[in-house]
Structure 1
Amino acid sequence: MTIGGIIAEKVIDHHYARVAVECGLDPDTKSKAKGSDLKDFPIERARYRRYVPWVVAEMAVVASYGWVVQNRVHPAVPLIMQFLACTLSTLMSHTASALLVDIFPDSSSSAYASGQIARCGLSAISALVLQSLVDAVGRGWYFTIFSLFVGLTGIVSVYISLWKGMAWRRKRLGNL
């Protein structure tokens, strides 16, 4: 998780700077757009820039993990897969959390907390159904189905955010 967080910090800052330059803005961290300044800045594009490949990589790692465990390969392999899955999920979680904080700067703690509540709630539901689904389809298929469901809904969510995010922000900021 620590490595994922360190990578996320670098990736988030790099992507913000790239989009800022594309928009003709100074990417210096001291001049980052905040709050209502984001009304005309594509923060969703900055945060989700090249995000989908990370989701696809996470899907592949999680699905592979299920098959590795099911086939009882050497214990080092699932440990490496867990390391990769945790690193990728932390990177993606930090990226999404940064977007929430960017969109709701006046209530950033509440925005971050709501994202964590949603994430933990979905994790609890997954834990609730895990054993019965594993018993029904096996570890390999469970993790494949799980990775497809979470990954594909995540990709759809990212594209909806990229497509409608700025318009939703402008509408909300106009009503404040």
Structure 2
Amino acid sequence: MFVTRESALSTQSAHMTAVVRELRDHAEILDALYRFGLGQDLKDEELFASAFAAEAELDFRPAAARWGGRPPLMSGREVIVSTILAMFTGRVDTTHQITNPRISVDGDTARLTALVEAQHLLTADHATFALLKNPYDVELVRDGERWVIRRIRIHNAWYTGDPTAFFGRAEAV
């Protein structure tokens, strides 16, 4: 599941124009995941939506299976944005921290793997929480000068707290 190349860049350092382009691509690819996380944390519909391609898919099923959750595969930017923000806005405070990003670019497509620590607290009662450490597997496509998520699959390495308070067992995410 992880991007495991031995170096961050594939371009030879003697080709500075190519190196600069690859560095820009890496920054824009990582920014797509930052927009995903911060858009949720701020409940900012425009920022959150800017992370996704129109036909994007969000698959939270592998993570939710760890605690018996059975969410559907979410397809389409509008469905993803409206579902996630409706579930959290006014009800759940979140913070997302993104670490260990690894990126592989192939023309106008890319793959990003990262670890995301996602804290969820009920707005009315911060004693009810779930802290999740999730490996993310993300496929992206170039959209002009920026990159957007085409497919994101979220796994779970571990959690503490009560994820069912936020995601349920059998309910849709």
Query: Normalising by structure 2, what TM-score?
Result: 0.31
Choose between structure 1 and 2 for higher RCO, CA contacts under 8 A separated by at least 6 residues: 1
Higher strand proportion: 2
Larger radius of gyration: 1
Query: Normalising by structure 1, what TM-score?
Result: 0.31
Higher helix proportion: 1
